[in-house]
Amino acid sequence: MRVGVNGREHRIEVHPLKRLLDVLREDLKLTGTKEGCGEGECGACTVLVNGEPVCSCLIPVAQVRDCEVLTIEGLGDRHPLQQAFVQEGGAQCGICTPGMIMAALSLEPEAGEREIREALAGNLCRCTGYTAIIRAIRSA
């Protein structure tokens, strides 16, 4: 099946019910997307499908056929959000960070704290570094 990932066309032969997360990590070797809870609570596996944040651990790959998927690797390593997370100490253990950044991508540049908290409602940080995460997103 055809799926676009980070601006590149991929033709992959996998079981249609394989999780998008596993296709990204195992078949495409894009291991920046993390697995956390497996039940849609933690947001560590967040990627964008056609521009919308989703949990890649809850999506069979058949449901992204012919879609455009964006993962943390698709941002390169100089994206303003990534730099802000570094500068503001927005990453501690780092497991939640790719998901946090992918979820934050949907925010308007002028988003305030309320909008940021709402956009990140589906992302948990078990180091509980929320203050620095929100500070990083505000500064980006």
Partner 1 sequence: MRTAVSRLTLLEPSSLGEALRMLDADPSLQAMAGCTDLYVDFNFGVLQRRRFLNLWGLEELRYVRRDDSALRIGALTTYTDLIESPEVHRHAPILAAASREVGGAQIQNRGTLGGNVANASPAGDTLPVLAVLEAGVVVESLSGRRRVPLAEFYTGYRQTAMRPGELIVELELPPAEGAQWFRKVGTRAAQAISKVVMAGLRAPQPRLALGSVAPTVIRLPNTEACLAGGGGIEQARRVLEQEIRPIDDLRSTAAYRTKVASNLLARFWSDTQP
Shortest reach from residue 134's CB to partner 1, in Å = 15
Sheet holding 2-5, edge to edge: 8-11, 2-5, 68-70, 46-49, 52-55
Taking the complex as a whole, the smallest distance from the CB of residue 94 to partner 1 amounts, in Å, to 19
By CB under 8 A, name the binding residues for partner 1. 15-19, 38-41, 43, 46, 49, 52-55, 57-60, 62-63, 103, 106, 118-124
| CB closer to partner 1, 37 vs 86 | 37
The rounded Cα 140 to chain-centroid distance in angstroms is: 17
Write the Ramachandran bin of 28: left for phi over 0, alpha for psi from -120 to 50, otherwise beta: alpha
Shortest distance, position 120 Cβ to partner 1, whole Å:
8
Give the shortest CB-9-to-partner 1 separation in angstroms: 20
Q: Where are the beta strands (DSSP E) in 1-140?
A: 2-5, 8-11, 46-49, 52-55, 68-70
Q: Which is nearer to partner 1, 61 or 84 (CB)?
A: 61
> 43 or 129, CB closer to partner 1?
43
Which H or E element spans position 20?
Answer: helix 20-22
